Amino acid sequence: MKFNYLRRIYLSDTDAAGVVYFAKGLEICHQAYEESLTQRGISLSQMIQEGKTALPIVHAEIDFLRPLCCGDQIQISLIVSLINNSEFAIAYQISPVDNLAQILVKAQTRHVCINPRIRQRTDLPAIILEWLG
């Protein structure tokens, strides 16, 4: 599944040098992930309240090819892929809205499905498998 999310870089996203730093870059990617779930009718808050499924990130990486600065209009593209019955990955590319061919940032997260009560792996729920396509 591929999903695109548009966003502006705000002053609060930047450090003292005026650029987005790694932790904020990953946060922006995570916002795009959450929005992709919401657009497919998946409620993380409901999942958390039910307490049966959690999807923690077990690996994250980010490469800044060019800086992201306050006021930049960006598009975050997500490509999700199933790894196995309890794990999936998301590849992110961030580009300026006015030049989608230019890649500013590449990132990736890997998620594992667990039962939060016993903290053990479990199969991904059907709704997440549908989201994965």
pLDDT at 87 over 90: yes
Alpha helices in the chain (DSSP H): 22-39, 44-50, 126-132
98 flagged as catalytic: no
Helix (H) or strand (E) run with residue 49 in it: helix 44-50
Whether the full predicted model's pTM is greater than 0.75, yes or no, is yes
- Predicted confidence at residue 1, as pLDDT, reads 73
CA nearest 73: which of 47, 96, 46, 49? 96
Question: What whole-number distance in Å separates Cα of residue 32 and Cα of residue 75?
Answer: 9
Give me the catalytic one of 13, 15, 72, 123. Answer: 15
What domains are there in the chain, each with its CATH number? 2-132 (3.10.129.10)
Average pLDDT for residues 71-98, to the nearest whole number? 98
